[in-house]
Amino acid sequence: MTTELSPIDKAKFVAAKKAVEFVEDGMRVGLGTGSTAAWMVRCLGERVREEGLKIRGVPTSTRTASLAKEMGVEVVSLDAAKWLDVTIDGADEFDAELNLIKGGGGALLQEKIVATASDQMIVITDASKEVDTLGAFPLPVEVIPFGWQTTQALIEETLVSLDVLGRSASLRMNGESPYVTDEGNHILDLHLKRIGDARQTAMILNQMPGVVENGLFIDICDTVVIGYGDGKAQVRDINAGTIEENMLDFVEGENLFADLSD
């Protein structure tokens, strides 16, 4: 069966394919969550099967853990791995400083813990997620279920004093019920439109009772790999301060990628 990938899926695949080149034998690898990260897990699985690559993967969600096992990637807990060589994950937005909004898939808490425990965080993305200023994508904030409406009211009240354009928060739903994260919490999506000071916003949100974590990743990401539908991939590394462009041969999604979706 031939799978015709959409241009956006081709871009995600190309970014993932390029990013897994950073992974070396023996590494402990943080495995992100989401549709782009799923491509990365599949590409890693391919290297495990075809090259005999030996890695230990720390998944950032139950979804990623299942996919990794299915792909033949060894899965260990973060506590077993202790520290990671690299984490590869998707993002919902990134800016010129490689600051991010994450959590569109609800996995921001484990993702932030895992990325922070890594020597390097590589974000894989398509070009549509690059922004001048973060905030068009609703900012996910993980809150404990107890008193979530009070937490929401407190957040909305506090937003007035922050450098943001929007001020409303909505409870993420899963059909008729509130969305529940892997840690048993809920997600409030903050409709900020434009976050003038992402660092301050992240700090203030995390000081509020009831807030577990927010989806702003500030100074955590080192490298962004941007994939394009034509097989091109661009690597941006904040530490080296350089922009490297690489051409990849696009590999059709037949066989390995057939029937696999997040």
Ligand X SMILES: O=C[C@H](O)[C@H](O)[C@H](O)COP(=O)(O)O
Question: Which CB sits closer to ligand X, 94 or 250?
Answer: 94
In angstroms, what is the minimal distance from the CB of 37 to ligand X?
5
Residue from 19, 36, 135, 155 that binds ligand X (CB under 6 A)? 36
Q: Is residue 156 flagged as an active site residue?
A: no
Which CB, 108 or 205, lies closer to ligand X? Answer: 108
Helix intervals (H) in 28-82: 35-51, 62-70, 78-81
Amino acid at position 180, single letter? V
Nearest alpha carbon to residue 102 among 193, 15, 14, 33: 33
33 lies in the binding site for ligand X (CB under 6 A): yes
**Least CB distance from residue 59 to ligand X, whole Å?**
12
Q: Does the annotation flag 15 for ligand binding?
A: no
| Residue with Cβ nearer ligand X (157 or 186) | 186
Name residues contacting ligand X, limited to 185-244 (CB under 6 A): none
Interface with ligand X: number of residues (CB under 6 A): 18
Q: Tell whether residue 129 is among the known ligand binding residues.
A: yes
Among 14, 37, 81, 195, binds ligand X (CB under 6 A): 37
Contact string (CB under 6 A) for ligand X, positions 66-95, x = contact: -----------------------xxxx---
Kindly report the CA angle at 200 between 198 and 206, in degrees rounded to 5? 100
CB of 26 to ligand X, least distance (A): 25
Which residue in 111, 176, 245, 252 is the catalytic one?
A: 111
Q: Alpha helix (H) ranges present in 20-126?
A: 35-51, 62-70, 78-81, 108-116
Contacts of 207 (CB under 8 A, 6+ apart): none
Residue 139 or 235 having the CB closest to ligand X: 139
DSSP per-residue string spanning 152-179? HHHHHHHHTTSSBS--EEEE-EETTEE-
Q: Is 18 annotated as a binding residue?
A: no
Question: Which amino acid is residue 197, in one-letter code?
Answer: D
Instruction: Tell the smallest beta-carbon distance from residue 86 to ligand X (Å).
Output: 15
Q: Does 34 bind ligand X (CB under 6 A)?
A: yes
- Restricting to residues 94-113, which ones interact with ligand X according to CB under 6 A? 102-108, 111
Q: Is 77 exposed, middle or buried (0-12, 13-18, 19+ CB in 10 A)?
A: exposed
Q: At what angle are helices 198-206 and 148-159 packed, to 10 degrees?
A: 150
- Min CB(160)–ligand X separation in Å: 27
Residue with tokens 């950032």: 60
Q: How many Å apart are CA 75 and CA 54, to the nearest integer?
A: 11
Query: Tokens 């391919």 appear where?
Result: 46
Distance between CA atoms of residues 248 and 230, nearest Å: 9
Closer CB to ligand X, residue 36 or residue 118?
A: 36
Annotated binding-site residue numbers for substrate: 33-36, 89-92, 102-105, 129
- State the residues that interact with ligand X by CB under 6 A: 32-37, 89-92, 102-108, 111
Catalytic positions are 111
